[in-house]
A = this chain, B = another copy of it.
Amino acid sequence: MSTNLTIVSSNRSFGGWHKRYRHTSLALGCDMVFAIYLPPQAESGTKVPALYWLSGLTCTDENFMQKAGALRLAAELGMAIVCPDTSPRGEQVPGDPDGAWDFGHGAGFYVDATQEPWSRHYRMHDYVTRELPELIEATFPVSAKRAISGHSMGGHGAIVCALRNPGLYVSVSAFSPISNPMNCPWGQKALSRLLGADRATWKDWDATALMQTTKTRLPLLVDQGDADSFLAEQLKPEDLVQAAKAADYPLALRLQPGYDHSYYFVASFMEDHLRHAAAAF
């Protein structure tokens, strides 16, 4: 169980509270900061459902909370939002040997690493699917009705979390996910380090591959900008579409004309994703 929960900051917003906390994660072997938005409906102690949001490369808990424009509707719909960080952090946690931004600190890829030196700390899947919800649901008036969503690396993370854990979430969606990490430079760099050279082990952490084997049929909403500079080389939504067709998986992928990879895009379609989650709650 996580320990040493301490509050970092607190801001009233849309009648609820945005709060940041630090705690010691046993899953990750380091201190972590996360943010939670508690809507006005939680003030009475009534348990509210929660959307877990996984952010992309280089982000922390702050990007989504500040830029997505999601709190207004979360307050209206009565849902909490939980934003973890994107990797283990701290001096004791190894980062990218070359200091790159696409692996290591801020780039944990939401997998459970099996290879040294990564396997000690890089266990973001265990953190996001087990330790963090346990902490949230034991600490705040938040129910076990969970939705998951994310952006880019976090879109990959959200889909993989849902496909690997039938029953854990009632809703899943993604913005601009890294749809087939086995088949793109960002994913190959991360998975070869975290999981080793045997590509057979990568399939358990790849949305496109998991679609062939998953037991869940949670409807998946994906928004993708067609002016996204990472679209062709890194994101490859067409691989996910093909896998969904082959597996008869309920995927609604919307290609949004003129939109890029930024939060100006994410904010534009956030309402649809929050309503997608709320409908499942």
- Residue A13 interfacial (CB < 8 Å): yes
* B72 and A14 contact, CB distance less than 8 A: no
Residues in chain B near residue A258, CB distance under 8 A: 12
Residues in chain B near residue A12, CB distance under 8 A: 225, 227, 258-260, 264-265, 268
Total contacting residues, chain A, CB less than 8 A: 23
* A71 and B267 contact, CB distance less than 8 A: yes
Residues in chain B near residue A242, CB distance under 8 A: none
* B11 and A262 contact, CB distance less than 8 A: yes
* B69 and A264 contact, CB distance less than 8 A: no
Residues in chain B near residue A13, CB distance under 8 A: 259, 264-265, 267-268
Chain A 13-34 interface residues, beta-carbon cutoff 8 Å to B: 13-15, 18
- Residue A4 interfacial (CB < 8 Å): no
CA A76 – CA B145 in complex, angstroms?
Answer: 32
Contact with B along A57-80 (1 / 0, CB 8 A): 000000000110101100000000
* A263 and B66 contact, CB distance less than 8 A: yes
CA A14 – CA B72 in complex, angstroms?
Answer: 16
- 18 A–B pairs (Cβ distance < 8 Å), ordered by A: A11-B259, A11-B260, A11-B265, A12-B258, A12-B259, A12-B265, A13-B264, A13-B267, A13-B268, A14-B267, A14-B268, A15-B268, A66-B263, A67-B67, A69-B69, A69-B71, A69-B72, A72-B271
